[in-house]
């Protein structure tokens, strides 16, 4: 999970929504599209949780703290993010609060770590095998938070593990056994930095691990 730098000037239309308006009614408004575009831009078009590349047609506006917990705060921009749709609801925003798909985990304010918190990034480590685990060297309480986030968001599901493994294999094969420094410099620019359109490649944290950055 990479750290999100929040937009200091969120769309003003959020504050103009009718009092008590249902979120599903909001989804049909022009403001919903504006907010979605703002979130995609600040996240460089990658999912706030799993880091897959996303666009408007394969993502949704996510309430990081569920709406059932923050009633009356549906339009709080600081609680909104762009999440992938998670395949067949296997991971990320659609998965985390679906009691049918995810019966084991529920929202826990003492363990949930939002992606805009810089401390969240250091809780997880991504392996070339495709697995994600609690990072080495963190304390027991932090390890519990990391394990909770992995389970709550489905980050270790087969779909994501396979995609990360394929990504790692492709990057490692590109670098070769003794990569030239110029090739490493190119890979750092290509995999870790936004392109001219402001978009990142998927799985930045895994790429950073492989490139020792």
Query: For strand 80-84 and strand 59-63, is the pairing parallel, antiparallel, or unpaired?
Result: antiparallel
What is the structure's pLDDT at 185? Answer: 96
What does R_g of the chain's alpha carbons equal in angstroms? 18
For residues 115 and 68, the answer to whether their CB atoms sit within 8 Å is no
Locate all alpha helices (DSSP H) within 90-139, ordered by sequence. Answer: 93-96, 118-121
Structure tokens at 106: 């529920």
> Alpha-carbon distance 150 to 157, whole Å?
9
pLDDT at 71: 77
Q: What crossing angle do the helices spanning 181-192 and 158-175 adopt, rounded to 10°? A: 150
Q: pTM for the full model?
A: 0.95
What pLDDT, on the 0 to 100 scale, is given for residue 104?
94
Q: Which of 43, 36, 38, 29 is nearest to 57 (CA)?
A: 36
pLDDT for 66: 94
SS3 202: coil
Q: What is the pLDDT of residue 107?
A: 96
Q: Which two tokens stand for residue 17?
A: 């929504």
Please identify every stretch of the chain with a pLDDT value under 50, giving residue numbers as ranges: none
pLDDT at residue 19, as a whole number: 85
């Amino acid at each position: 999970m990479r750290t999100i730098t929040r937009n200091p000037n969120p769309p003003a239309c959020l504050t103009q929504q009718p009092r008590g308006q249902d979120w599903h009614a909001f989804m049909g408004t022009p403001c919903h599209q504006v907010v979605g575009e703002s979130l995609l831009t600040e996240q460089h078009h990658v999912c706030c949780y799993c880091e897959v590349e996303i666009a408007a047609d394969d993502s949704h506006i996510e309430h990081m703290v569920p709406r059932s917990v923050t009633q009356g705060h549906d339009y709080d921009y600081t609680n909104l993010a762009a999440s992938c749709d998670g395949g067949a609801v296997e991971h990320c925003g659609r998965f985390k609060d679906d009691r049918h798909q995810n019966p084991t985990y529920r929202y826990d304010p003492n363990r949930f770590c939002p992606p805009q918190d810089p401390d969240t990034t250091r809780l997880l480590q991504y392996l070339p095998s495709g697995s994600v685990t609690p990072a080495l060297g963190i304390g027991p309480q932090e390890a519990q938070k990391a394990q909770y986030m992995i389970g709550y968001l489905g980050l270790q599901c087969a779909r994501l593990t396979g995609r990360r493994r394929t990504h790692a294999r492709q990057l490692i094969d590109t670098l070769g056994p003794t990569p030239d420094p110029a090739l490493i410099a190119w890979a750092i620019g290509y995999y870790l930095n936004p392109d001219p359109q402001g978009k990142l490649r998927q799985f930045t944290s895994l790429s950073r691990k492989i490139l020792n950055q």
